[in-house]
């Protein structure tokens, strides 16, 4: 081979080597850039996973706290209801221990309250043991336009009266049980306030 051919080959070889080295250098740069990009993406994914885990942990924490607060609230409501029921039981027992004179005054007041709601003409119903007391109270109150009749229907109540208007359309339950039921919401509030003070 001639010197000129050898020089040409050498020159082509050098150019080729330069191009290959340039391509390798460019490939290396691209590889480094890809690696850096992958690292950044991986860091971003890890951050999102950690953030998601933190959010899940916070959500779980809120659920646990909420459930615990609900259990406490339910316990408070059960305790309040139990205290109200105990108060009603005690009140019911207390009715049986009231003196005869005081009981008669109470029945008269219950009838009078009923007349104020129903009107001056009404039928008064009660339990069988209170018929005498109710008849006497109704007789005393039947003056000045008030006309009360003691009904024949016996009520299954511990005490008190039910007044019904003359036409039968309006009924006012003033039995001890009905009065206690009307008092139940207020009693619940008072008991709940007592529980609130203990905390």
pLDDT at position 199, please?
A: 42
d(C-alpha 116, C-alpha 81), whole Å: 32
**153-194: per-residue pLDDT in tens?**
888 888 899 999 988 899 999 998 898 888 888 887 887 777
CB atoms within 10 A of CB 125: 24
CA atoms within 13 A on the CB side of 117: 17
Asked if residues 172 and 126 have their Cβ atoms less than 8 Å apart, the reply is no
Q: What is the DSSP string of 78-123?
A: HHHHHHHHHHHHHHHHHHHTS-HHHHHHHHHHHHHHHHHHH-SEEE
Per-chain mean pLDDT for the chain? 82
CB atoms within 10 A of CB 140: 14
Banded model confidence at residue 197, pLDDT cuts 50, 70, 90: low
Banded model confidence at residue 123, pLDDT cuts 50, 70, 90: very high
Asked if residues 147 and 121 have their Cβ atoms less than 8 Å apart, the reply is yes
Mean pLDDT is highest, among 32-36, 58-62, 99-103, 118-122, for: 118-122
């Amino acid at each position: 081979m001639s010197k000129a051919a050898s020089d040409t080959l050498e020159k082509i070889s050098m150019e080729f080597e330069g191009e290959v080295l340039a391509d390798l250098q460019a490939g290396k740069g691209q590889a480094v850039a890809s690696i850096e990009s992958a690292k950044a993406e991986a860091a971003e994914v890890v951050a999102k996973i950690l953030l998601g885990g933190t959010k899940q942990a916070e959500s779980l924490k809120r659920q646990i706290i909420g459930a615990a607060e609900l259990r406490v609230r339910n316990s408070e409501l059960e305790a309040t209801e139990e205290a109200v029921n105990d108060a009603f039981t005690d009140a019911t027992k207390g009715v049986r221990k009231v003196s005869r004179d005081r009981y008669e005054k109470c029945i008269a007041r219950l009838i009078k309250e009923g007349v104020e709601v129903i009107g001056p003409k009404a039928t008064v119903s009660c339990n069988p043991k209170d018929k005498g007391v109710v008849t006497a109270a109704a007789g005393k109150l039947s003056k000045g336009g008030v006309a009360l009749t003691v009904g024949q229907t016996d009520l299954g109540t511990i005490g008190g009266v039910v007044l019904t208007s003359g036409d039968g359309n309006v009924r006012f339950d003033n039995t001890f049980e009905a009065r206690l039921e009307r008092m139940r919401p207020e009693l619940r509030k008072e008991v709940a306030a007592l529980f609130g003070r203990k905390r």
